[in-house]
Amino acid sequence: MTQRLYIDVHVVQTVPPANLNRDDQGNPKEAVYGGVRRSRVSSQAWKRASRQYFDAQTPEPDRATRTKRVAGELTTRISRNTGLDSADANRIAQALLAQLGLSQGRKAGDTAYLLFYGNAQLDAVAHLVTDRAADLAALEEKALAEAVKELPVAATFNTGHPVGVALFGRMVANIPQLNVDAAVQVAHALSTHETQLEFDYYTAVDDQNERDETGAGMIGTIGFNSATLYRYATIGFGQLTDNLGGDTEAALDALDRFVDSFTLSAPAGYQNSFAHRTRPSLVAVVVRADQPVNLVSAFEEPVPAEAGIQANSARRLAEEHITATQTWGDTPLFEAASHTFTARETRTKDTAETLTQAFGEPVTFPQLRTSLRTHITTALQEPA
């Protein structure tokens, strides 16, 4: 196991009217915290947004896929590699996957639950039968199952994990040999202040209306709110390195990509309706050797609406970090921040000064990522 290092990422980000992550009624998700109702974006929503962000910048073989349609994906690969028709390729794919004990879903060809795998891993499974595919296709079902029984299908899924699986892990019910412990934990994003659910009543006019026709061709409502969100994630560097086969450089790359992706991504719910994409006003990273520390307690008492919510939220976060460090005496190994607040402006002067006291002089986001990588590299070279 690699030396215990935890990298906490704290983000303060203001989002305009939006519906980033809807509930079962179609309205923005909410939570009660500190006795008041807050805007909430689920951890699953932001993890998916982060994964999609770095997948968009990653070659196809290095990406991860989460789907119930793994049999169809494997069939396509076998057929492409061997020239078999889809029916024979599917029989072989089903026989290979049967080794894993994956339960069948309600829909033909689907598994009962989502399987998260690397595209390169599925390519490797398909290559297990490339040289003997024609012979396997000629066998009856029972003989086919016996013929592929000793092929290392499970082992192939458990080696060469892509960044997505290494970061977020994999859990397959009743098949513990496929499980991968996650290296990342992501908290539900919460507004730092009380929010109210609002509704946008919209109409759409039919362009082909006659001049004497009035009224809308369609009407409806969309729930929304606006919020300054506190977002938090933590990465266990030791677990990440283990998931990547002990490759420290690969783990450093994965850490850097996650910090970038988590910071700059956003769930896309109703994006066309609200154009809600913003950049954070504060990103702080803290490296610890003891345990992760979520600083959401800074906002247990909601930031009042009459205050400058964004600046006061950032200041509250910095004060909480200072207080926690002084109280518990567990000085972090490294801390740094990028933010948009300046001491030159009266309205943000106190915030900027407090952030410097908590995290040091502000740096650009690229500098933050570079200095984080440099520090982790140095820390790993020191005696444990």
Q: Give domain status of residue 58, yes or no.
A: no
Per the CB < 8 A criterion, the answer to whether 325 and 290 are in contact is no
Structural domain range at position 140: 65-161
pTM recorded for the entire structure: 0.89
Domain count, the chain: 2
Rounded distance between C-alpha atoms, residue 21 and residue 30, angstroms: 10
Give residue 60's pLDDT. 79
Give residue 101's pLDDT. 82
Condensed to tens digits (0 to 9), the pLDDT of residues 253-274 reads: 999 999 999 999 999 888 888 8
84, 150: one domain: yes
Q: Give domain status of residue 210, yes or no.
A: no
Q: Give domain status of residue 74, yes or no.
A: yes
Per the CB < 8 A criterion, the answer to whether 239 and 181 are in contact is yes
233, 118: one domain: no
296, 361: one domain: yes
32, 76: one domain: no
- Residue 380 has a CB neighbour count (10 Å cut-off) of 17
**Of 141, 128, 245, 124, the residue nearest 183 (C-alpha):** 245
Per the CB < 8 A criterion, the answer to whether 3 and 384 are in contact is yes
342, 275: one domain: yes
Q: Give domain status of residue 212, yes or no.
A: no
Q: Give domain status of residue 143, yes or no.
A: yes
34, 142: one domain: no
Give residue 215's pLDDT. 67
Q: Give domain status of residue 177, yes or no.
A: no
Q: Which two tokens stand for residue 100?
A: 């894993």
Q: Give domain status of residue 93, yes or no.
A: yes
311, 360: one domain: yes
**Please, what is the end-to-end C-alpha distance for the chain in angstroms?**
12
276, 368: one domain: yes
Q: Which residues of the chain have pLDDT under 50?
A: 1
Q: Give domain status of residue 268, yes or no.
A: yes
- When computed from its CA atoms, the radius of gyration of the chain, rounded to whole angstroms, is 25
90, 187: one domain: no
259, 135: one domain: no
Rounded distance between C-alpha atoms, residue 2 and residue 240, angstroms: 9
24, 106: one domain: no
Rounded distance between C-alpha atoms, residue 135 and residue 142, angstroms: 14
Crossing angle of helices 248-264 and 365-381, in 10° steps, is 150
Q: What DSSP assignment string belongs to 316-362?
A: HHHHHHHHHHHHH----SEEEEEES--TTSHHHHHHHHHHHHHH-S-
27, 78: one domain: no
